[in-house]
Chain A
Amino acid sequence: MQPIDPQKWLRNKARISPYEIAFWIAALIIPYAFFPNYLALASQIAATAIFCIALDLIIGYAGIISLGHAAFFGLGAYAAGILSQKGWGEPISGALFGAIFAGFCGWIVSFMIVRVQHLALLMITLGLGFLLVELANTLDWLTGGSDGLLGIDTWNLFGVFKFTFWGYTAYGYTLGAAFLVFLLCRRLVNSPFGLALETIRENPQRTTALGVPNRARLQKVFTISAAIAGLAGAILAQTTETVSLDSLGFQRSADIAVMLILGGTGRLYGAILGSIIFLVARDQLSGMNPQYWYFWIGLLLMIVVLFMPRGILGGLEKIKSKLSTKPNQKVDGA
């Protein structure tokens, strides 16, 4: 047996694979070249993927389950939307404003989140979503209430590229943001901090006995995650030029959790894959029969959870590793 080189082993684990490069190139080219009529959908998918990656950080890596993460998505959306409505429509600074605002709110909420677990955690995150929807509804002079936030005007990207109905600029902008967020999160999960999160998820009792201040670590990742969710919301607000109450609501929180579970938690690409599958399927299926759409999602969710507990991407990885070990087993048997 080859002696193990621990540094190399850890480095390889975090290495960029050719599949990843191929994926991002495809994500840039395919929608522009082959589906120019679907660029609005593609932007929506990219923004949702950002949101889903944010959720993966807390659920997949840190083990904090949330049914209310749309709260931060919506806060970011309203922050950027209102900023634009009040006269500052520069997209990049607006998106960062939404992210920082949502991150700040996430930091406040994190003090509560890290003190509870299991059912209490679900209820707190759920309650947070309900509360914010009602708050946004009540503050209709600011948010537009149930009519939604109108009058958002997003200026040209870099002062040059106009956001048009066709979504050329929107997709480039959103995909670029998704790529940057992905790079940042990839760094995070492969850092010492990322490893510490995984150990807390696996066994908080043990990390405590190793000197880890669990709560502080979890607060940090929750804040980062809230900021990224806010960024996603802000970008969607800017590119669609509207924000509605349901951007904060339970349905969106549940949808994003479903996407993450479908794609596979704790692997970043699962979040991306889940967003693509969910939104493409919704676009196609709900065209046929809108009421039926959740029937199929429900079925798919149950099948995936039963037969692929690590999600579709986890299932694919398993099949791939089975195929690559098979030849060895045959040699053993011979």
Chain B
Amino acid sequence: MNALETRNLNKAFGSLVVADDISIQLPKGARHALIGPNGAGKTTLINLMTGALTPDSGSVLLGDQDITGLESNERVKRGLGRTFQINTLFPELTPLESTTMAICERMGVAQNWLSPLANQTEAIDEAFGLLTQIGLADDCTKPTVDLAYGQQRLLEIALALATKPKVLLLDEPAAGIPKSESAALFEAIADLPKDISVLFIEHDMNLVFTFASSITVLVQGKVLVEGTPDEIAHDPLVREVYLGGADHG
């Protein structure tokens, strides 16, 4: 059984087809890279998986459950976490508050309106542990808007991890941070527990070939080819359409 699977997903914005019969399987424990030029429909595919967008047809399965009809937040409760290509955070709140909220929600105590947040010691400790692990402990009481860009990228990941996902979808986690730091970020992703299945979008081919166990190449909403890093690196079609081309996005 796959951790996550799409079956014949289709989606068009008006006449622009952004997902064309996409069937992808993400095995348990996978480190799966989704690559393709800008505008290929990679972010759209993540949005279809998470429920942020509704497909025109096709289905999404999490484990053996069809989740196509579920709301986004219900999919999260079943173990589907994500990060965003463009920082999607809580500017006025601190990383500590943001992460604690995410954990309170997961623990089912976020409805509680008559007891102090400070009493949620378990959630607070877990949040602080997570922020320490990701390297944000020293700045976790500053408003997010005051954090450096790279730190905000890390918070993106910390928030997704706070939901304890079984499947984690990372939309260009290293976008906009210096090359020297992106390797460390991917080390952290590679070190995630093996039972978390990860799908990540990344443009840096060195990172992709280092960290991916399998790769899907998406071009104009279609799966061009799928395979191991080795197969992809030597695929003539990929070399022609994507790796060889000047447009790496």
Q: Which A residues form the contact surface with B (CB < 8 A)?
A: 1, 4, 6-7, 9-11, 14, 187-188, 190-196, 198-199, 202-203, 205-214, 217, 220, 224
Point out the residue from A195, A203, A212 that lies within 8 Å of B117, measured CB to CB.
A195
B74-107 to A contact mask, C-beta < 8 Å, 1/0: 1011000110100011111100111011101110
Q: B120 interface residue, CB < 8 Å from A?
A: yes
Let me know if A212 and B110 touch, CB within 8 A: yes
Q: B112 interface residue, CB < 8 Å from A?
A: yes
Query: Once bound together, how far apart are the Cα atoms of A213 and B88, in whole Å?
Result: 17
On chain B, the residues within 8 Å of A187 by CB distance are 113-116
Selected interface stretch from B27-35, B137-145, B186-194 = B137-145
Point out the residue from B90, B96, B115 that lies within 8 Å of A198, measured CB to CB.
B90
- Expressed in whole angstroms, the minimum distance between the Cβ of B35 and any Cβ of chain A is 23
Let me know if B93 and A192 touch, CB within 8 A: no
B155-173 to A contact mask, C-beta < 8 Å, 1/0: 0000110110000000000
Point out the residue from A10, A11, A209 that lies within 8 Å of B82, measured CB to CB.
A209
Selected interface stretch from B121-129, B203-211, B218-226 = B121-129
Main secondary structure of the interface of B (DSSP, over half): helix
On chain A, the residues within 8 Å of B110 by CB distance are 192-193, 195-196, 212, 217
Are A194 and B113 also in contact (CB < 8 A) when A7-B124, A210-B159 are?
yes
Chain B residues touching A, range: 35 or more
Query: Once bound together, how far apart are the Cα atoms of A4 and B136, in whole Å?
Result: 11
Let me know if B77 and A205 touch, CB within 8 A: no
Let me know if B116 and A190 touch, CB within 8 A: yes
Q: B216 interface residue, CB < 8 Å from A?
A: no
Q: B133 interface residue, CB < 8 Å from A?
A: no
Query: Once bound together, how far apart are the Cα atoms of A203 and B73, in whole Å?
Result: 14
On chain A, the residues within 8 Å of B111 by CB distance are 192-193, 217, 220
24 CB < 8 A contacts A-B: A1-B138, A7-B118, A10-B96, A188-B113, A192-B123, A193-B112, A194-B113, A195-B104, A195-B110, A198-B92, A198-B93, A205-B52, A205-B88, A206-B88, A206-B89, A208-B73, A209-B50, A209-B81, A210-B76, A211-B77, A212-B105, A213-B73, A217-B111, A220-B111
- Expressed in whole angstroms, the minimum distance between the Cβ of A44 and any Cβ of chain B is 29
Given A192-B113, A192-B120, output 11 extra A-B contacts at Cβ < 8 Å.
A6-B96, A10-B97, A190-B116, A193-B111, A193-B112, A195-B117, A198-B90, A206-B84, A207-B73, A210-B163, A220-B113
| Complex: chain A residue closest to B98, CB-CB | A199
| Complex: chain B residue closest to A11, CB-CB | B118
Let me know if A210 and B162 touch, CB within 8 A: yes
